[in-house]
Amino acid sequence: MAATATKTIDFAAERALAKDFLANFAGPRGEPKYLNILQDVANRKIRAVQIELDDLFHYKDADDEFLQRVTENTKRYIGIFADAIDELMPESTEAYAVDEDRDILMTQRVDEGADGGADGTDPLQRMPPEIRRFFEVYIKAFSKVTPLTIRQVKASNIGQLVKISGIVTRCSDVKPLMQVAVYTCEECGFEIYQEVTARVFMPLFECPSQRCKLNKAKGNLILQLRASKFLKFQEVKLQELAEHVPKGHIPRSLTVHLRGELTRKVAPGDVVEMSGIFLPMPYYGFRAMRAGLVADTYLESMSITHFKKKYEEYELKGDEQEQIDRLAEDGDIYNKLARSLAPEIFGHEDVKKALLLLLVGAPHRKLTDGMKIRGDLHICLMGDPGVAKSQLLKHIINVAPRGVYTTGRGSSGVGLTAAVQKDPVTNEFVLEGGALVLADMGICAIDEFDKMEESDRTAIHEVMEQQTVSIAKAGITTSLNARTAVLAAANPAWGRYDMRRTPAENINLPPALLSRFDLLWLILDRADMETDLEMARHVVHVHQNLESPALGAYISTARRVVPSVPRELEEYIATAYSSIRQEEAKSNAPHSYTTIRTLLSILRISIALARLRFSETVAQSDVDEALRLMQMSKYSLYSDDRQRSGLDAISDIYSILRDEAARTNSMDVRYAHALNLISRKGYSEAQLKECLEEYASLNVWQIHPNTFDIHFIDA
């Protein structure tokens, strides 16, 4: 068999090509892209130099073989590009803050080298290039390449640049990692440098310089920590996404090492795409004796891309700002955005409106005395099986940039709040955040809320109002942030809603928890010929051509608005709240718990509605819609009460309008006000118009032909 000839690579030529690429590659507007980056590095504005393979691909002098070598031997080519950057690095053009330790030591070292203090023959006395560099080089994988799953990364990928997608399950603290150890000799006074390339290293104890060898003196070396160079280091666990796990298997995980400027870029719960070098990591010490020839693997990260950006980090692309401005002027944007949520689910218009407001939320308030008032809305969907509660929850979690989905049966108290675990690296007790902590500044969806153990459910009380998780376990006493909106779904106590029992018996949740929900939505599965027929058609043929606006972009822009409640509305809101309390006292309804939290809920929902309009102030229409949503959440119960009382819809609407005219001592009721009144009771505009026509034909009132305002004929 003939031996395969291996091609010898001339690394000097490779460095020249890398230097040529960095010096000559032009950006989209013809500017020298990498020279501008290097100028920013020289001015100490940035530290990271990210070389994109997409740019190398488009560079005329870089052939496919060079690209392949960079991809397959990335670790070596990072050094080549760093050497090229050393040669190209321009002088700084702006004043920058001096790093005393580093800059003064470097000046001193250069002066000593110029004086001939260190003879250049000893390699350990030669200053390594890493200690001079104040930048880090990263090579970013092709953007168009489909990321691999953790399962697809094989031994053949070792040393190569790979792109992997997954979910971050845990992050270690950021620790300093030694890159160059610097020693000084007590005998000869020389500085000795030791490059560290692995996680562990053997320190030097005897001076290896030529002078100590000539004098036959075993000079004692002292490690100089201030003169040494350290890098920020963080270890992350990346786990396979649920959709990538084959049937019957459990998700695999991979250790990822983040260095330098890539640290603190991810948090547990983030779904990310990482490109990096897949490398082996041999075991050390006793573990090496037990493992033998087996080595562990890890990914040395080169770039991180988040699948979902936070609303604060969302950058509008292209003409998105124009689209948002156009949508904001549309009077029906509230309904359109609500319909665009889970378009495959039929009906539930008002539920979708409430979920839209949950996504928008209200700003958090911090009072002058330090007290905080939450801005997040909490919603509980309670209803019969098969009314698409879980589907709505899943959809909201997919839409939200940060969302955690969990179920009542699969969650314990510590699983929702925080658990104390032993860190495998340091063997210390550390706190591992639960679902509510992971969903900080996002949404936590809890399905099967009614099936949770009562002791576990009490863990949510503090999170829902104070928005913190207080821990006093294993010597750790602390308070964690859990600024999350809770979206819960539950079935009634007996699986289905039992009409023979009271609402309180059906809901079966403690008043302390019920009062914390801004909206408790009761969805009953009622038999209705027309509705059932429409739903069946919809399910059989899910409409394809529903055009939804750019929801993420719109919500991210809306969340930047901080509306205030004007003084003239204060009395209106206070009156509305007191009337709700009076109605509850009269009806003696045990299922609704109206407390001062209800007033805060009205304010939160009103502010969220004002945000959707990009308005700086809350309007009366926002308050009316908030009250209507609160009323509609119990609509199915009221409709049942009306059926039992024997009143039909038309008669009920008439009695509502008559009572309003008597209350205001006026013969006139404006149409908009009438529509608002009957909407709160769960009636539609079509039913109002039918009532107006019927009682106008009986000469009870007159209707204005244009405005539809009502004038009673007989007092």
Residues recorded for the chain: 715
What is the bridge-based pairing of β-strands 668-669 and 710-712? antiparallel
Residue 92 DSSP SS3: coil
More confident residue, 290 or 83: 83
Q: What span, in angstroms and rounded, lies between the C-alpha atoms of 541 and 239? A: 37
**Token duo for residue 587:** 């009806």
**Token duo for residue 549:** 């606006």
pLDDT digits (tens, 9 = 90+) for 480-536: 888 888 888 888 877 777 777 766 677 777 878 888 888 888 877 655 555 556 656
What are the DSSP calls for 594-636, one per residue?
--HHHHHHHHHHHHHHHHHTT-SB--HHHHHHHHHHHHHTTHH
pLDDT confidence tier of residue 544, bands split at 50, 70 and 90: very low
Select from 170, 168, 166 the least CA-distant residue to 421.
170
How many CB atoms neighbour CB 703 within 10 A? 16
Residue 315 DSSP SS3: coil
Task: Give the ranges where 427-467 is alpha helix by DSSP (H).
Answer: 435-438, 454-457, 459-465
Q: Provide φ and ψ at 368, rounded to 5°.
A: -65, -30
Q: What span, in angstroms and rounded, lies between the C-alpha atoms of 648 and 197? A: 82
Residue found by looking up tokens 């699983």 in the block: 415
**Token duo for residue 700:** 């009870």
pLDDT digits (tens, 9 = 90+) for 195-204: 888 878 888 8
Q: Which CATH superfamily is domain 144-306 in?
A: Nucleic acid-binding proteins (2.40.50.140)
* pLDDT (mean) for 553-561: 81
**Comparing 11-88 with 318-636, is the CATH topology the same?**
no
Element (H, E) at 447: strand 443-447
Burial of 380: CB neighbours in 10 Å, binned 0-12, 13-18, 19+: buried
Q: What span, in angstroms and rounded, lies between the C-alpha atoms of 160 and 164? A: 12
pLDDT digits (tens, 9 = 90+) for 628-669: 888 777 665 555 544 434 456 787 888 888 888 887 888 888
Q: What span, in angstroms and rounded, lies between the C-alpha atoms of 405 and 407? A: 7
* pLDDT (mean) for 17-29: 85
pLDDT confidence tier of residue 138, bands split at 50, 70 and 90: very high
How many CB atoms neighbour CB 428 within 10 A? 8
Residue 166 DSSP SS3: strand
User: pTM, whole model, 2 decimals?
Assistant: 0.70
Task: Give the ranges where 9-99 is alpha helix by DSSP (H).
Answer: 11-24, 33-42, 53-58, 64-72, 74-88
pLDDT confidence tier of residue 163, bands split at 50, 70 and 90: very high
Domain boundaries, the chain: 11-88, 144-306, 318-636, 649-712
What is the bridge-based pairing of β-strands 221-223 and 175-185? antiparallel
Show Cβ contacts of residue 60 under 8 Å, excluding neighbours closer than 6 positions.
none
**Token duo for residue 302:** 């080169």
How many CB atoms neighbour CB 676 within 10 A? 16
pLDDT digits (tens, 9 = 90+) for 238-264: 999 888 888 888 989 899 999 999 999
Q: How far is CA 201 from CA 163, 192, 447, in A?
A: 29, 15, 50
CATH label, 318-636, candidates 1.20.1250.20, 3.40.50.720, 3.40.630.10, 3.40.50.300:
3.40.50.300
* CATH number for the segment(s) 11-88: 3.30.1640
Q: Across-strand partners of 472?
A: 477
Judge contact between 337 and 549, C-beta under 8 A: yes
Residue 202 DSSP SS3: coil
Count Cα atoms within 13 angstroms, Cβ side, for 656.
22
User: E strands, 78-135, where?
Assistant: none
